[in-house]
Structure 1
């Protein structure tokens, strides 16, 4: 029977379409429990590949015969080995090309909507890591917001759309993933923007995002207005685009809120976080469409593959916005937080320009789920 590679892009489509798939994950138990491929109609079996070295007979009766199956491992070779053994038993089976490392790095561009005159906004969904990046285009120019380190994706997409990247922005100094903002700006000749209160220790030049500034993209009136919204980091900054979209960085997600402890400042920043969520955002129009920098689970994906919701609906549905008592809020965001992201301090140092590890080291640092939210 056949053994076929399934690319991450194809697996994303299956998940967004809510297709039924069976995932045979052959990583060790701890790796699987910490981070796995998620989807509404996925079923799982986790059996470490070293338990299958002598053959797959022990799991045959646990595998489905009525749905497609994808074998997954960390980098690919182990999944190919297991898939071939299953094929020898008469089964059609896929393996995930590039394994979980490729899954972690895949970016899926999804159009959010049209803005201004002939302008567009796109969301880049890093489904394996829960990261979200954005491209705003107008009149042949583009801005990239919260770029990941896979900068070729943005460069290739800009070329496909016939636009020139003129501005690159980070809403804050990221701690859960390596920013591609500075590299992308250098490659494209764009300006790199960063909140100055997050940039005290950076080793490079940047343009300061200041509350009240306007950054215009193209000749059409598409303005990106930085809105200073501290809480997740000291300099966390939101953007309001065309009085229609609110890019919240890691302050507000669709189903949670940003944690304030990744720089060791939970007690100091919790009041800023509450002020942002319960005062600054409450004063904004409820019709604004919230576009965050992360999502926690695939349940936050809309039917079209986007991660977005109206601000007004979040005031009713997001549990992080329902805590009226200030002391209860303080406890929620400072106690019983989930584990911190892998290598978060090393990632902060990279994003400040203090260190520059090689690509494989960067990949290893980013392995695992994002953990930017209060859960």
Structure 2
């Protein structure tokens, strides 16, 4: 029998989705499963975006330009320039979700064997994207004790060598919800300039910052125009994960020309998605204000409930809609599977993502889980009751 590739063997499974078969089996057994494992909001997509799709009228469903339609890129530039990015439509390539933007950035800027430094825990699929692109992730550990703040710059410098070409951040962070401060961003800027590194900035959660804290992009920092590549998506901003529509942004013309070649090789982003995305940019500010308020309440509900549980610690995140919590358990992968396979409370259980998949360091995250507060507060409260009851009887409680 023919064998699969070596790359296929080392391609990591998603910690967010790998337990899905157990969740489906639990549902077939009649259990209610509260899905806190994945960032799929239950908040409605803006009506203006849905109406644009409903009102489409074309005779041929055709290719678009490889870089995306000029109409959509023009509207995108307007959106970003309201945020003081000072870009043009020519600085944007439209992609099939933020995932493709990340892959384009890695393939355009990094050679096989090159290294990218990423504070961990980090978005689990960075490992997969790096595997696809033959890039090596060099993790730098952030810790739950200080809420997953940016590690000291001296720790970054310990990792830098002739193969180091980029630093990748997600801000606000997935999975921790940490929001990087201006001082932290300024420190990264100085590091990038000192060692001539790219900064990959994943900004999928830009709109979700809480408690009056400000979002700072490397695009807001002077002197970095040639170093910054922004990767973005409509998935979270407009609760439109299924649209699979994102973009890559850079003022670096050489990177842009290179990324365009990869965009041409995959032909083009979808026409319908770009029509919807164009309309979405006119979503009123009131939508985001309401959504932000809802997520703030959900965050407070989840964090408060977690920190009341014996042996549990959860930092209060400044953005996104995730938390990483430490639990009194021996193995988060085993625990999350046990929750679906063997546990129920009043015929209910909770699906979470084991935090091990958000680290590249072997053994890290063994007693941590990621939870997405994308459900309504009533369901979140029920999920937390289930979790508390589960921790009381879990066979591996307290063993780390």
Structure showing the higher strand proportion among its residues: 1
Per chain length, whose mean CA-contact separation is higher, i.e. which structure has more relative contact order (CA < 8 Å, sep 6+)? 2
Structure showing the higher helix proportion among its residues: 2
**Shorter-chain TM-score above 0.5:** no
TM-score if structure 2 supplies the norm length?
A: 0.32
TM-score if structure 1 supplies the norm length?
A: 0.34
